[in-house]
Amino acid sequence: MAESKRTVILDVQGLSVAFDSYDASLKKSTNLTIADLSIQIHTGEILAVVGSSGSGKSLLAHAIMGILPYNARVGGKMTYKGKELTREYQEKLQGKEIAFIPQSVAYLDPLMRVGEQVRGTGGERLREAQRKAFKKYRLDEKAEKLYPFQLSGGMARRILISTAVVANAELIIADEPTPGLDLNLAIQALKDLREFADLGKGVLLITHDIDLALNVADRISIFHSGTVVETARKEDFSGDGEGLKHLYSRALFRALPQNGFQIARCPKCGLSCAVWEIDGDELRCACGYHA
Ligand SMILES: Nc1ncnc2c1ncn2[C@@H]1O[C@H](COP(=O)(O)OP(=O)(O)OP(=O)(O)O)[C@@H](O)[C@H]1O
Ligand code: NI
């Protein structure tokens, strides 16, 4: 798709997600898990958000889908196709214009046969599309009559991906879609996301795997400590990472096997980049050293 024809499909500006918690003496404290996070997804592109485990990636997906737990406090502004993403609008779009591939298979309805879940509100009309998707993901015909508890983990994952494929959505939010799939099916799932984007739709791919992101995404947002430190084009992740602006993105890129596992160790205490904190535009080691 020509770059000039691209429009912003999802715009997230200054998102924050905080949780209130209470200690034994009922004293309230607030834990900010996402802070001032901004991303934009254009039509025709895959934007990957890459971050380490527990950094708040799934919360970002849940904030977009409007399925955060009741005790979450959300700030900032999100728009979908230029219209503010209110609770009501989120409900309207869910599973239709915006399809979600959740990280956990617990999102399947335990009381509904999986064939029906994949067809969603399209019902019988989508039976053909559902059968096609099942075939593609090597789910046999009997699978559609099963309930979620009868599925293996890998089967459940393939069902979740089929749901997004069948929904014929405009935007897919995929939260770690490939773990638990064998290599061929993982490649197939990523190919599907690529094809989907090439049709002029948008994809947000959430992953901890920068290598996977580089294989399929157009742009990559590096997520750290609840915010995006840098969004760079795939081409900027090359050479020695000199095209990357932030030290943390460079450290992540240089640590890849193909780049010789260069780990940014702190010259003062020897700890690796995973324990570095971001301090403005700099990295600060837990020992206080600034890089
Ligand atoms: N309901 C909640 N109440 C309080 N804190 C929460 C809640 N849900 C998530 N968190 C906090 O938010 C943090 C980020 O969680 P999240 O699941 O978004 O991480 P993630 O980046 O998706 O990790 P992973 O790669 O393991 O999937 C967690 O470490 C946890 O401390
Ligand atoms: Ni997650």
- Around 170, how many Cα atoms within 13 Å sit in the side-chain half-sphere? 13
Asked if residue 274 has pLDDT above 70, the reply is no
Cα-only R_g, the chain = 20
Interval 33-42: pLDDT, tens: 999 999 999 9
Per-residue confidence (pLDDT) for residue 3, from 0 to 100: 59
What mean pLDDT, rounded, does the chain reach?
Answer: 88
ipTM over cut 0.95: yes
The answer, yes or no, to whether any atom of ligand 1 lies below 6 A from the CB of 231, is no
Task: Name the pTM for this structure.
Answer: 0.88
The top-scoring range by mean pLDDT among 214-218, 277-281, 282-286 is 214-218
240, pLDDT greater than 80: yes
The Å distance, Cα 65 to ligand 1 centre, comes to 16
Residue 270 token pair:
């020897």
55 lines ligand 1 (CB under 6 A): yes
pLDDT band at residue 96, thresholds of 50, 70 and 90? confident
Report which of residues 241 and 63 the model is more confident about: 63
Average pLDDT score over residue span 211-223 = 94
Residue 234: per-residue pLDDT: 95
Using the atom order of ligand 1, give the atom closest to the CA of residue 33.
Answer: 12
- What dihedral angle (degrees, nearest 10) is formed by the CA atoms of 197, 203, 208, 211? 20
pLDDT tops 80 at residue 194: yes
pLDDT of residue 276: 75
Q: Name the phi and psi angles at 16, rounded to 5.
A: -135, 145
Q: Could you give the percent of the chain with pLDDT greater than 90?
A: 42
Rounded distance from Cα 175 to ligand 2 centre (Å): 7
Higher pLDDT, 52 or 98: 98
According to the 3-state scheme, what is the secondary structure of the chain?
Answer: CCHHHCCEEEEEEEEEEEEEEECCCCCEEEEEEEEEEEEEEECCCEEEEECCCCCCHHHHHHHHHCCCCCCEEEEEEEEECCEECCHHHHHHHECCCEEEECCCHHHCCCCCCHHHHHHHHHHHHHHHHHHHHHHHCCCCHHHHHCCHHHCCHHHHHHHHHHHHHHHCCCEEEEECCCCCCCHHHHHHHHHHHHHHHHCCCEEEEEECCHHHHHHHCCEEEEEECCEEEEEEEHHHCCCCCCCCCCHHHHHHHHCCHHHCCCCCCCCCCCCCHHHCEEECCEEECCCCCEC
pLDDT above 70 covers a percentage of the chain that reads 98
Structural domains in the chain? 3-20+30-237 (3.40.50.300)
Question: How many residues in the chain?
Answer: 291
Distance between CA atoms of 146 and 106, rounded to whole angstroms? 15
Kindly identify the ligand whose nearest atom is closest to the C-alpha of 57: 1
Measured between alpha carbons, how far is 187 from 223 in angstroms, rounded to an integer? Answer: 24
pLDDT, position 2: 58
Tokens describing residue 124: 């019988």
Instruction: Give the pLDDT mean for 281-290.
Output: 81
pLDDT > 70? residue 79: yes
